[in-house]
Amino acid sequence: MHDYGVTKQGFSLKRLDVIMEELHDKLSDPETGIGFNTRHNPDSFLNVLLTNLSDKYAELWEVGRPARLRLQAAWRGCCITAL
């Protein structure tokens, strides 16, 4: 499992494809979701909704990109042991 956000290696961005895959997997799971393949029809309301949600989540991850780049530059040469 990959860690996202602030890690010992720096900031790890969660990309749109990963977000979309996680949402589809959770919703398609028979135990925790609705139990059918949400990817079956790309034009379905549910698929369009998940795509739009994924896009908005990815935009939120990107909002921190400038700050992340500044922090990564500051972290170079530093020891991050408090994480």
Q: What is the pLDDT of residue 3?
A: 83
* Contact present, 64 and 58 (Cβ < 8 Å): no
Query: Looking at residue 12, what is its pLDDT?
Result: 82
Domain residue spans of the chain: 5-75
Q: Is the pLDDT of residue 79 over 90?
A: no
pLDDT digits (tens, 9 = 90+) for 10-59: 778 899 999 999 999 999 998 888 888 888 888 989 999 999 999 999 99
Beta bridge partners of 7: 10
Tell me how far CA of residue 29 lies from CA of 3, 21, 35, 51, in angstroms.
22, 12, 5, 18
* Secondary structure (DSSP) of 20-82: HHHHHHHHH-TTTS-SS-TTS-TTSHHHHHHHHHHHHHHHHHHHTHHHHHHHHHHHTT-----
